[in-house]
Amino acid sequence: MKTISFLLVALAFATLSAHSVAKGSRSTSATVSLSILDSFGKQRQDCHVIEFSSSYPYHKAELKARFSGYTATEIPFGWYRIRLRCDDLQHLGPEYVYVERNQEFFVVSQWRHFGDYVTGPRLAVNLETAPDVQLSKQAWIRAVGIYTKESEVSKIDPASHSASFYDIVPGRYLLLLLDGEQIVCSKPVDFLESDAKLSLSISTEGCATSAISGVKALN
């Protein structure tokens, strides 16, 4: 069973309310737009807002009815709790955003840590270095989720010349090869399924990735 993780990216744009009282008065509401992405950055259109609520004392409100699709108008400034349900029965949230007059950009991530069960690493990166390239014993690789806040670090095994990742789940990642504090190489990849293998070649002219199985190189 493949795992798909999601990001909820909330863009809050403050606009003058249709019910503003006097010219020059301070607006107290905004238009809120939501963009739903999966862990590969692909937009989803099959999710529905099931909660957009404020829990301020004396100002409790449920404003999900103000959403038409992914856009809501006349949302008073303040903190809100968001929950969504998608057609594949995935639930996103609860997460929290703050709506205010100035344009705000919120990244609200939901990482569901499920995946195919494997006894070994989910992703193995085999390192191939040119004869004139020397890496120290402090060489390591970090996989950073591009559309998530998740990351995983693995030291390079000097015997197998590989780095193993055990907690990674499907999504787009930036692979960073570091030697001490120096970044030697950075390459984006799509990790598609468990038991994936990738080759990372290093030379004095740069670096390159090539997929072996379960992963897509994005050179």
Q: Say if CB 152 and CB 167 are below 8 A apart.
A: yes
The better pLDDT of the pair 109, 69 is held by 69
CATH number of the CATH domain containing 51:
2.60.40
Same domain assignment for residues 11 and 101: yes
Q: Which of 99, 96, 189 is nearest to 141 (CA)?
A: 189
Instruction: Find the length of the chain.
Output: 219
CA dist 187 and 175 (Å) reads 5
| pLDDT reported for residue 6 | 44
Of 80, 110, 140, which one is at a domain's C-terminal end? 110
Inside any domain, residue 139: yes
Whether pLDDT at 5 is above 60: no
- Provide mean pLDDT across the span 58-72: 87
Q: Answer yes or no: do 99 and 132 share one domain.
A: no
- Domain boundary residue among 110, 136, 155? 110
pTM: predicted TM-score of the whole model, two decimal places:
0.76
Sheet (strand 91-99) strand order: 61-62, 47-54, 78-86, 91-99
List residues bridging with 86 in a β-sheet: 47
pLDDT category of residue 201 using cuts at 50, 70 and 90: very high
Hey, what are 85's tokens? Answer: 């349900």
Q: How many distinct structural domains can be found in the chain?
A: 2
State the pairing for strand pair 215-217/123-129: unpaired
Which residue, of 110, 134, 166, is where some domain finishes?
Answer: 110
Tens digit of pLDDT for each residue in 68-97?
Answer: 998 898 888 888 999 999 888 878 888 888
